[in-house]
Structure 1
Amino acid sequence: MERVPIEVVTKGLETTSDKIRALAHAGYLRTEIAQLLDIRYQHVRKVLVDAGIDAGLQRTVELTRSTDIIEAPASDREPTPPAVLLEAGFSRVGEWTLDGDRLTLSGRAPAEVGVYAFILDDEVVYVGVTQNGLQVRMEQYRRGHAGQKTNARVNALIREGLAAGHRVSAMTAVPASFDWNGLPVDGAAGLEAGLIRLIQPRWNMRGRS
């Protein structure tokens, strides 16, 4: 079923929040609403969560072998686009590629301690933190040593994605640490924990990196 055009849905609505709610009710996904209104994904999510609206989490799927239409159930985990991280201060590093059996990353990650994310096409699928430097961590994933379970598992996921024709890229951030009431707070570890809780990336196992 064809959706009502955005111009019709938002006609006469003055506030961005009203437009967000109207578009969600009209069947537009949260990621689409953010792009159409040129606003941050978090803004869309907050407005809909505050209003108790989960319509933006559902997508209607039409089967090619049948005239039946099935609707995917609403889920707390909606795919998060990389724009959410870019707007918050993450930087693109490059794309993973396969040259024969050799896995390589087209860019060079920072040497500092920080947070990293892997993107499958247009979805953030993995978030992690490293205390050994981002360059070192990317090299560990590139090698995917069998004796290091996480490295080997994520290396295999990257390879599977590339073999299936998907784009897999990497992004990084180097957040500052700070003091809280005189106590040290690790900015990188805190950011990783918050992102995993918010995004629930599907390559992270049980909410962990």
Structure 2
Amino acid sequence: MEMTKADQIRALAADGLEVAEIARRLDIRYQQAYNVLKGRNRSASIPDVVVPVPIALKPMKPRLPVETLIAGGGTLASRWLLSADGDLVLDMPVPKAVGVYSFVKDEFAIYVGVATVGISKRLYTYGKPGVSQRTNIRLNGFIKKALGQSGSIDIYVATPPDMEWNGLPVHGAAGVELGLINKYMLPWNMRSAG
């Protein structure tokens, strides 16, 4: 029996996989998986693509344990909390320096980002996202939902130095962020699926 791509997406979601991981495993765009799960993939003129089962899945990336962040120079800087008004706040001030930051839940990183304007300013935008800041709005919702369910979300930061390669500038924090996204499964990073 054959399953449609949409059936495969729904089956992986029922197994508890995040949209980004489903997209990565099925080698499809994030938006396609998202639309199927939100019920927006139906079109009278475009039928689902039929694919034979079982499908060959891409090997999963490993999770990023907090020990790896610490071994690489990351330090615990703060934790996300919900204020009495339901706003996101930090339990301690974070560095103003440029760097890379990680959100950690249950001893594994779930998101990695780079702060080219400074870590403090970047994290502020998650707590108070502007109306056009889609990533900040998305992460604000993820963080609030996770905090509402239980536990805490720790924030680890690192400030790798900039360097040169063959006389060209290399941004240390951006390189670390991209390297982590490419190597590890980070469910809140959309680019981690590709």
The TM-score, its normalising length taken from structure 2, stands at 0.66
Name the residue aligned to 2:106: 121
Tell me the residue number matched to 2:68: 84
Unmatched runs of 5 consecutive residues or more in structure 1? 1-72
Mapped contact 2:112–2:186 kept (Cα < 8 A):
yes
Structure 2 partner of 1:153? 138
The ranges of structure 1 where at least 4 consecutive aligned residues each deviate by more than 3 angstroms after the TM superposition are none
C-alpha deviations, 1:147-176, integer Å up to 9, x for none? Answer: 211111101100010011132111111100
The aligned amino acid for 2:121 is V
Sort the Cα spacing of 1:185 and 1:74 in 2 relative to 1 into closer, same or farther, 3 A: closer
| Counterpart mapping for 1:129-168 below 5 A | 129-168=114-153
3-state SS of paired residue (2:191): coil
Partners of 2:173 and 2:191 lie apart in 1 by 20
Given the superposition, is the C-alpha separation of residues 164 and 109 from structure 1 closer, same or farther in structure 2, using an over 3 Å criterion?
same
Q: Report if aligned partners of 1:111, 1:134 keep a CA contact under 8 Å in 2.
A: yes
Specify the code of the residue in structure 2 equivalent to 1:116.
Answer: Y
1:117-160, CA deviations, whole angstroms, 9 ceiling, x for partnerless residues? 10112110000112111010011111133321111110110001
1:178 Cα shift?
0.8
Please state how far the C-alpha of 1:77 moved relative to its aligned partner.
2.3
- Write the mapping of 1:159-198 to structure 2, written as runs, cut at 5 A: 159-198=144-183
Quick one: structure 1 residues 75 and 161, their matched pair in 2 at CA, closer, same or farther if it must change by over 3 Å? farther
1:78-127 superposed Cα distances (whole Å, 9 cap, x missing partner): 32211110111011111111123121111221111111110112110000
Report how many aligned residue pairs link the two structures: 136
Q: Distance in 2 between matches of 1:165 and 1:154?
A: 17
Equivalent runs, 1:10-29 vs 2, <5 Å:
none
More contact order relative to length (CA 8 Å, sep ≥ 6): 2
Asked whether the 8 Å contact 1:144–1:153 carries over to 2, the reply is: no
Q: For structure 2, which runs of at least 5 residues remain unmatched after alignment?
A: 1-56
Distance in 2 separating the partners of 1:168 and 1:182: 39
Alignment of 1:46-57 (within 5 A): none
CA RMSD of aligned residues (A): 1.8
